[in-house]
């Protein structure tokens, strides 16, 4: 069974706080992704990484950064949380040759 584990199911943070969302996989997959999910907008790609220490911007990277120091761990960082970053955040993994993406259970972040 593929495991993609996100560190928190629910988070409440204050405006201006620095927020870390963690994602850990047990599949040794090269590609890792961070999406945010909002009603009516689907899943939008924030950042992805195809190797350790490598990162690429997705469609909505503004206000976010990422870190991948180890192959199994991909972190999403909100440098200074704002209320418009209140959303569901989903981590996903994919192998290089395998097109199926496996998702974590999501982190619902509320910024107050």
Partner 1 sequence: QQQVKQSPQSLIVQKGGISIINCAYENTAFDYFPWYQQFPGKGPALLIAIRPDVSEKKEGRFTISFNKSAKQFSLHIMDSQPGDSATYFCAASLEGGYNKLIFGAGTRLAVHP
Task: Summarize as ranges the residues that interact with partner 1 (CB under 8 A).
Answer: 4, 31, 33, 35, 40-45, 48, 50, 56, 58, 90, 92, 94, 96, 99-106
CB closer to partner 1, 39 vs 84: 39
Phi and psi at 68, nearest 5°, equal: -140, 90
DSSP-derived letter for residue 38 is E
Least separation in angstroms between residue 14's CB and partner 1 is 25
CB of 54 to partner 1, least distance (A): 10
Which whole-number Å values give the CA distances from 40 to 36, 55, 58, 86, 94, in the listed order? 12, 27, 19, 15, 25
Going by C-beta distance under 8 Å and a sequence separation of 6 or more, which residues neighbour residue 96? Answer: 29, 30, 31, 50
Question: Least distance (Å) from partner 1 to the CB of residue 70?
Answer: 19
Q: Which one, 71 or 103, has the nearer CB to partner 1? A: 103
């Amino acid at each position: 069974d593929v495991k993609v584990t996100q560190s928190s199911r629910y988070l409440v943070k204050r405006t201006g706080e620095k927020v870390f969302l963690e994602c850990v996989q047990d599949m040794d997959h090269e590609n890792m992704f961070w999406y945010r999910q909002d009603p009516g907008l689907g899943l939008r790609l924030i950042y992805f990484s195809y190797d350790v220490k490598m990162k690429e911007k997705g469609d909505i990277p503004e206000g976010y950064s990422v870190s991948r120091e180890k192959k199994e761990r991909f972190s999403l960082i909100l440098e200074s949380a704002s209320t418009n970053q209140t959303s569901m955040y989903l981590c996903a993994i994919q192998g290089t040759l395998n097109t199926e993406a496996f998702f974590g259970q999501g982190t619902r972040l509320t910024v107050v």
